Structure 1
C-alpha cells in the first residue's frame, strides 16, 4: 500500500508513523508547514519538504528578524500555495490512502484538493482540542462539517471526540480510540514503589489553554509542607512559567525544563516513575499523552477534565483526582494536599493505573492493531 501522511512536524506524529516501519508499505510524509526540514526521527519515510519558498533569497533570516512586516509582504509573493503543492504531490505519488493528522493545521488547508479526489480514502486522526474546541482555532461549524463529510475513516484519542464527530455529521467508519502517539513504551525499571517517590511533577504549559501558573501558585499556598518533603520538577515549561520560577524564592530549588528544549521521552518517563503526583491543568484538551504516560509510570494523576475526556481513564477519588475549575488555585491546592497525605489511595491507584495503562496503551501491544488498521483498508 502507498500511504501519504499529512501532518505538522510533531513528536506524536513521528511516534505514530514509526509504528509502520517494516510493515511493507511505501510511506510518504507531506510536512504541511514545511517547518522542520528532513527529520531523522522518521528517516525511513519518503519526506516531502522544502516546498514553501519560491526563492530562499540572501538575507532572508535578517529581514524576518528585524523587519517582520516587510518579510510578511515579501512572502505574499514568495510562497507557494499549500493546496497547489499538495495537488501536484498527489498527482506524482498517487497514494492508495491519505492519512491526515489534526484538522485545523493539516486538514482544512488542503480540503479543496481532498474533495477533488473523492476516490482516494481519507483517514483523519483528531488530536487534543481539535474537534472539542474548533472555534478557538477560528473554524466555523460549517467548515468542520464539510471536512468530516470528506473523511472516510476516523481515529480519535478519546471517546468524547467520536461522539462530537457524529454530532457534526460524520457517518463513515470509525477505526477506534488510540493515543495520538500510537502507544507508550512504559519503562518498568523506572517505576518506584509508592513510598519511595519524592517528586511533584508539573506540566508547564502556559499558553492560553495550559494553566501551569495556577498549579505553581497553588503549590506555593501549601508552603513548607511541600518544600521540605518533595522536589518540584516542571517540564515543557513555557516562558511565563520559566520567568515565574526564576523570580520566586519559593521555587529556587525547583528543576525546570523549557518547552522548546528537547528532552528525550525516556527521561520524562523516568521522572514520572519517581513522582508522587503528576499535575496537568488546562481549559481544553483531548486525552493527554502525558497523563497516560504518568499513570503508566505510577504517578498519581491530578488532571483537568475538559468535556469529560479525562474521566474516561480517571475516576475521581479512586485512581486519581479530576480538577473541576482550572482557574481555582484553592481547589488545586486542596487536591494536591489530599493526594500527598493519602498514601493508601496512592498505592491502590498506582497498582491499578500501571496495570490498566499497560493493558490498553502499551506501544508493543498497539503496534499490531495500528498496522492492521491500514492492512484492512486493502481491497
Structure 2
C-alpha cells in the first residue's frame, strides 16, 4: 500500500434505488482525489430493472455486481470483499459525497502516526418531505477524554457511516457487517472497532449530504429497529461497563435521558440499574470504612477481612437490620377486626387505574381492605381511596394526601427520602430477591384475611403463587383475576405456560372480562369456580358521562382518539401509519388527533407524523411526571375527550375488555378495535364498531376512511352503543354485581 496515495474503494449498496442512485454515483465519480474505484452492489432490486439500468449506464467507469436480496449488510460485505482499495468508503444510494470528501480524509489520514485509524466527518441532512437542509456538526467533544467522547457519540447515534474512511484490513481482524441485523449493522461494527482499539479521528468539515425520507429502514422497519437498538446498547454497555460506570453522574443521567427520548426502554433501564449496582458496591466500601472508625483495631480487621472475602456478606447485616425495621413498622401492627365483617388482601399493581376503580367500589362496605402492591414502588394511583397500602418504604412523592389511604411502611420524607427508598429497595432486591413474597406471607399470617385477591397474573399472580406454595392448604381463599394479556398472550410463551398452569391449579376462584378467557383457563387446568364475567374496572356514572358528551350528532365531531400503547403489545404505531395514509381526509376536514397514554416509541412516531403531514396532533404521555402522577390525563379528562371524538382507535395484539373501548362506547365515539381483544363480545363488527388486524396499516386505513366518511354509520352506532352501556355498564348495577362477587366467595363452600 502506498501510504501517500492509497486506493479508495467507494462501495454503494442499493435496493430499488432508481430515484436517487444516479446522484450518488455521480458524486462518487466526481471526487477530486483520483485513485478511486466505485463498486455498486445491487441487492436484488425488484423495480423492473430500473436500478440495474442506471448502474449499467456508467459502463466501465464503475464495477457493477448483482446479488439476491439479503439486506444492506450483505451488499456492503460483498462490495468490501470485491474491493481492491486500501480503504473503504461506504456511500448509501440515497446520499451524496461532496467533491473533496475523499481527498480531505486521505490528507488527514496521512498525518496519523499509525494505521489503525478511522476518519469520520460532519454532514448535512436533507429532509426530503420538508425540503429543508440541516447541518449535523459534532462540536461537544471534550479534550483528553477520547473513550468517553466516542462512547457518548456511539450511544447517541451521532456518527454517520457514510462519513467514514475505514482501513480494509480492519474487516479481516474485527469481522464484517453483521448480516443478521437489518438496521443496526453499522453501529454494531463501530462498537466492535472501538473495542478492538481502533482510533476514530474527527475531521470537523461537512463532507457528505444525506437524505431523510419515509422509505429508510429505520422508519419503514421501525419496530425491528427499536428491538435491534435495545439489544445493541445492552451488549455495548456490557462491553464497556468498566469505562462507563466511571463517567460523571450528570453524563450518565444525560445519556439515559437521551436514550429514553428515543423511545428506548430496556437499554436505558439496564444501564441505570447496572450503574446503581456499581454505586452500591462503592457505597458499601465507604460504609465499611466509616463504620470501622468507631471500633477496635481487632474488630476493624475482622470487618475488612469479611469485606475482602465478599461484599455480599456485609449487606446481609444491613439487610437484617432493614427487615427488622420493616417488620416493626409494616407488619407488627395492631389489627382491629371488631368493626369489620370481612377482610380482603388485594395483591395488585397499585399504579393502575384498573386497580383503583375496582377497589373503590367497596370502600363503604365496612370491609377491611388491604392493598399489597406486587411492585414495591412506593406509589399508588391517585384515584385509589380509603385503603391500607403496604410498602417497604414510601414518601411524599407518588402519594395523594387527600385519598384517605393509610400507608404502612417506613416513611422517608423529602426528595432525599426518595433516593434512600430506591437505594434500600434495590439492596433488598439484589440480596434477597424474594423479599416481597416474604412480606406478603407475613402480612397474610398477621391479618388472616377471608380472601386473597390477585389482580393480574404475571406480577401479582406469580407473587401470590409463590406465597401460596409455602402455605399449602392453609392459604386463604384465593381469587385470581386475569387481565387482558395474561392467558391469551402469555399462555403462548413457553417460559410462562407452566407457571400459568400451576397458578390456575392452585387458585380457588377465577375471574376475567372475556368469555374467551374462561375457555382458555379451563384448557390450562383450572377446575375451580368461575366468577361472573364482567369488566374488572367497575362501571360508569352514566349521568355524568352524558353531561361530558359533546352536544349534537357524532358525525359533526372533528376529533380522533388513539390509545398510545406501543412497545411489546401495543400497535399504536401501525395505527399512526394508517392515519398518515388518511392525511388528505384529515386535513381537508380539519380533524385533530389526540394520543393518550402514549409510550416513548409512539411519541416519536407521532412527532414524525406531525412534522411530515402537518396534521394537528396532541400527545399525552403515559407518565406526565413519574414523581407525582402516573397519568398525564385523569380518567374524567379522557372521557371528556372521547365525548368530543368521532372515532376512537385501540390497536394492540392482545387485550381483554379495554377501558378505551368501553370509554368510546359510553361517550358515543365510534370504536375501531383490533382483533384479539374481545371487542366482538361488546359490539357488532361493521355495525357498531370495526375490528381490524393490529399489524395491517392498510386494513386500519380502510376502517378509518369508512368511519370518517359514513355519517349514518357512526350516528346509528352511537345510539346502539349507548343502549349497551345502559344495559351493561351502569356503575350502580356493576357495583352490586361486584359486591355479590365477594359475598359468594365469603359465604360459599365452593372452591377448594
Structure-1-length-normalised TM-score: 0.90
Structure of higher CA gyration radius? 2
Task: Supply the distance in 2 between the matched residues of 1:359 and 1:365 (Cα, whole angstroms).
Answer: 9
Tell me which of 278, 292, 317 is aligned to 2:686: 317
RMSD: 2.7
Task: Supply the distance in 2 between the matched residues of 1:63 and 1:370 (Cα, whole angstroms).
Answer: 36
Deviations 1:203-234 (A, max 9, x none): 11111211111111111112221123111111
Task: Supply the distance in 2 between the matched residues of 1:87 and 1:330 (Cα, whole angstroms).
Answer: 51
1:354-365 correspondence to structure 2 within 5 Å: 354-365=722-733
Contact persistence 1:182–1:367 (CA under 8 A): yes
Aligned to 2:72: none
Task: Supply the distance in 2 between the matched residues of 1:61 and 1:251 (Cα, whole angstroms).
Answer: 42
Contact persistence 2:393–2:421 (CA under 8 A): no
Contact persistence 1:54–1:80 (CA under 8 A): no
Structure-2-length-normalised TM-score: 0.47
Shift in alpha-carbon separation, 1:106–1:74, aligned structure 2, 3 A = closer
Tell me which of 549, 556, 568 is aligned to 1:191: 549
Deviations 1:52-73 (A, max 9, x none): 99999x89949989xxxxx968
Shift in alpha-carbon separation, 1:312–1:271, aligned structure 2, 3 A = same
Q: Does 1:227 align with 2:587?
A: yes
Contact persistence 2:675–2:694 (CA under 8 A): no
1:44-123 correspondence to structure 2 within 5 Å: 44-50=386-392, 61=419, 75-77=429-431, 81-115=435-469, 116-119=471-474, 120-123=476-479
Gaps of 5+ in 2: 1-341, 395-408, 625-630, 748-752
Shift in alpha-carbon separation, 1:271–1:373, aligned structure 2, 3 A = same
Once the two structures are overlaid, the 10-residue window that deviates more, 191-200 or 31-40, is 31-40
Contact persistence 2:555–2:714 (CA under 8 A): no
Deviations 1:23-54 (A, max 9, x none): 11111111111113466633411111126999
Shift in alpha-carbon separation, 1:318–1:37, aligned structure 2, 3 A = closer
Q: Does 1:244 align with 2:585?
A: no
Q: Per the alignment, in what secondary structure is the counterpart of residue 254 of structure 1?
A: strand
Shift in alpha-carbon separation, 1:195–1:159, aligned structure 2, 3 A = same
Shift in alpha-carbon separation, 1:213–1:37, aligned structure 2, 3 A = closer
Q: How many residue pairs align between the two structures? A: 371
Deviations 1:356-379 (A, max 9, x none): 022102222201111121123233
Q: Does 1:212 align with 2:572?
A: yes
Once the two structures are overlaid, the 10-residue window that deviates more, 117-126 or 4-13, is 117-126
1:1-379 correspondence to structure 2 within 5 Å: 1-9=342-350, 10-37=352-379, 41-50=383-392, 61=419, 75-77=429-431, 81-115=435-469, 116-119=471-474, 120-135=476-491, 139-186=495-542, 187-192=545-550, 193-229=553-589, 230-247=591-608, 248-251=611-614, 253-261=616-624, 262=631, 263-306=633-676, 309-323=678-692, 325-379=693-747
Gaps of 5+ in 1: 66-70
Quote how far apart the aligned CAs of 1:102 are: 0.7
Shift in alpha-carbon separation, 1:225–1:39, aligned structure 2, 3 A = closer
